[in-house]
Amino acid sequence: MSFLCDFHIHSCLSPCADITMTPHEIASVCVSKGIDWISITDHNSAGNVRVFSKVLSRAGVSFIPGIEIHTVEDVHVLAYFPEVSLAEAYSDWIRKERLPDISIDPEISGYQLFVDDDDSFTGMEEIWLGQPTTLGISETLETVRDNGGVSVMAHIDRKMGLITQLGVIPEEYREVPMEISFRRTLFEGIESRNILHSSDAHSLNVIAPTLSLSANTRSFEEFRSAIFSFGRTLKIIWD
């Protein structure tokens, strides 16, 4: 079977995302666009993944809990986990041990809103999620793996992406799956065979089917297998 996917979507917890990015609103967009499988990947936090998992499941949309980690090199790394509890545990560790205690001014940097399954806001994260953690890229990849997850280099051809920030793809990261934003990147000598494309949606109108994934079931193991076998089970959908 082929499933339409978008594995990089932000919720209202990300300071740069619209407050309309709530569970029922995102579920509604996914259903209307025929999207079968998504991930919520908020900046440095998995604080909303549990409620999204519940609401999306009721709407028939499969879900992978994720986090977009901001490293000390100013590179974004997507971390995906097989279970909500694993994503939450990793998120809690980042908040307690690896996220500087800098408060956010929501009027300047945006609101970071927790939400319930009725789309009601239940609170606000006080620590600024848009800042770098104290994790380097290599340590991010290692700790995500040690906690049962898998990493993807986020939007490598845009701001806060690996190539944009470092100028090259270092040898040690070339086997890590890469997310690209622009079609032209495929023709610029990118040295990775595991390429993804996602919407990186911060507003409802940007959510779109960006990948077609062939799998028997919508399971984390099928997802993991697909992102390491680009061209056989995973195909990019361009606008």
Please report, in tens digits, the pLDDT of each residue of the chain (239 residues total).
999 999 999 999 999 999 999 999 999 999 999 999 999 999 999 999 999 999 999 999 999 999 999 999 999 999 999 999 999 999 999 999 999 999 999 999 999 999 999 999 999 999 999 999 999 999 999 999 999 999 999 999 999 999 999 999 999 999 999 999 999 988 776 756 689 999 999 999 999 999 999 999 999 999 999 998 866 688 999 98
Cα separations in angstroms, 221 against 32, 86, 140, 148, 232: 27, 15, 21, 11, 15
> Are the CB atoms for 68 and 44 separated by under 8 Å?
yes
Residue 12 phi, psi (nearest 5): -65, -5
Enclosing domain of residue 108 = 2-236
Q: What is the CATH number of the domain that holds 180?
A: 3.20.20.140
Residues 6+ apart with CB under 8 A from 222: 213, 215, 216
Q: Give me the amino acid identity at 202.
A: H
Q: Determine the 3-state secondary structure of 3 from DSSP.
A: strand
Q: Does the model's pTM come out above 0.85?
A: yes
Domain count of the fold of the chain: 1
- Residue 208 CA to residue 21 CA, distance in Å, equals 14
